[in-house]
Amino acid sequence: MNNHLKNTLQTLLLTVSILFALFQLILPVYGFLPILRTRALNLAFAFIIIFLGGKKGRIEEKDFLRRILDLLLLSAGVGITIYVFIDYPNIIEQYGVSTGTGQIIMGLALVFLILEAARRMIKPALPIIVLLFILYAVFGHLIPGKFGHPQYDISTLVSMLFLTTGGIWGLLLGVSADVIAIFVFLGSFIVNTGGGTGFMKLSVKVAGKYVGGPAKVSTISSALFGSISGSASANVATTGSFTIPMMKRLGYKPELAAAVEAVASTGGQIMPPIMGAGAFVMAQLIEMPYLEIALKAMLPALLYFFAVGIGIHFYSRRAGYAGLPPDEIPGIKETIRTSWFFIIPFAILAFWLFNNYTPQYAAFWAALSTIPLAVFREDWKLEIKKAPAKLEKAVLNGAKQAALIASITASAQIIIAIIAFTGLGVKLTSSILSISEGNLFISLILIGITSIILGMEVPTTAAYIVAVVVGGPVLVQFGLLLMGTPPEIIMSVVRAALAISFVSAGFMGFFRKELGTFKRGLMITAGILLIVKFLPLNIIGLVLGIVVFIF
């Protein structure tokens, strides 16, 4: 591919990314379109970004035939979504019944394009899982017993997926178009206009000098970055490029440095105020205000990062890992100065959210506040010449992440549609209740195993969606988080923190000093006894932990 063509395609990618950003930032706040048209345009932009820029979000070297194939896929995706946008009034009146072979072909092609887009942006696991559900929908009538279903022909299935808002154009793609995308762009603008530097400076100042300092810096910076990113992979790529070399330079094992960054970055998805895409899906599925979801997520998020931090502390004490040297710790003035790059948009976001405005409205003004910040260096001196490059990077990264989320939610929506259409969700829920015999702990174990298996190869959003369809109805029967009295909630948090500390000390082999095998077993046992909500066992666990601590 010659340079002229490459530059032309890169310009096209940037132009489309800018239009995508404007569409996602302005439409949910000031523009109003029918839901089918909004979702069709969101998917059209996603197809262009994915088939032009791919996973890396930029034009790469490809041979002529592969480039032609990309352009054909792009054209087909845009053509089908634009058809839906234009023919929206007639499609709504069809009530899921196709008018002929043309719509069936377009529906099949759209399913293929969504799966190919997801395959290019993530591992093949999600498209394979979607294909398995499609096969279940087609051949499930051959399965004996309660997991079988009536026979459906291809025309009926494709019409359901392509021509109804219960299919591809359902709730999940709507959440992507209406809510998630604007927050993805907000996160990208914060990071690329100085917020990323502010996160790192603050993290180093807070934790850098202590035992295991670099690893603790990784934990705090990943929590901060994850709070506005929601993407574990983007989190690793951004904070990991700084923290992993820093840990290795100070003698940390490479595998430990990578593990710390991966675990910390994963937790960023549940860290308020923005969190990951799953939080917005959650808010829509359970019809709860996003702000309430974020507030309820605060305790689990803090406990998660407490677990990571205390584990790092015990491991570092045992291995003898020191903190950063004093000359690498930023001063308080420098830390405060750089922190304003993320404090300003965070404050604006919080102001509108706590004044009962929609998350989209709050995100719009928060994103707008980052644009003037692009003209400043981290020391607040003007640097106007570099502002366009910062904003370009923010737009391209935001468009890539928003396209990724669109491909994931569209794929997951196919799964959800088939689960609802075939009645599989009800069957799975009844099976879990039957196996657990109404026991909350066993139900949580079964749902947890499901989430872990899905999470091995599937992005968080997709894993959450499938897991919540299976486990959500079960958990609803047992109650929600933070539903007890304040003393009960405080006791649960204290128990959880102590249990985390004891289990972590046991696994890491260090408490006040290095622990032998027997004492490690005692600490793990003490932690497990504290997890179980039964006061006599809790007291035994606490006494065990105290005894090991003293002796």
pLDDT tens string 374-420 = 999 888 889 899 999 999 999 999 999 899 889 988 998 898 889 88
Per-residue pLDDT at 455: 64
The confidence band for 282, taking pLDDT boundaries of 50, 70 and 90, is: confident
Least trusted range by pLDDT, from 110-124, 201-215, 400-414: 201-215
Confidence of residue 228 (pLDDT cuts 50, 70, 90): low
| Burial of 142 (C-beta count, 10 Å sphere; 0-12/13-18/19+) | exposed
Contact 486, 152 (CB under 8 A): no
Contacts of 299 (CB under 8 A, 6+ apart): 481, 482, 493
Read off the amino acid at residue 448.
G
% of the chain residues with pLDDT over 90: 26
Write down the mean pLDDT value for the chain.
84
- For residues 514 and 167, give the distance between their C-alpha atoms in angstroms, rounded to a whole number: 57
DSSP states along 81-122: HHHHHHTHHHHHHHTT--SSHHHHHHHHHHHHHHHHHHHHHS
- Per residue in 333-352, pLDDT (tens digit) is 888 998 898 889 989 988 98
Among candidates 230, 221, 215, 234, which has minimal Cα distance to 195? 221
Task: Please provide the size of the chain in residues.
Answer: 551
| pLDDT of 26 strictly over 90 | no
pLDDT at 251: 77
Residues 231, 245: contact at Cβ < 8 Å? Answer: no
Quick check: 458 pLDDT over 70?
no
Out of 98-107, 246-255, 272-281, give the one with best mean pLDDT: 98-107
The DSSP 8-state label assigned to residue 330 in this structure reads P
Three-state SS letters, 149-193: CCCCCHHHHHHHHHHCCCCCCCHHHHHHHHHHHHHHHHHHHHHHH
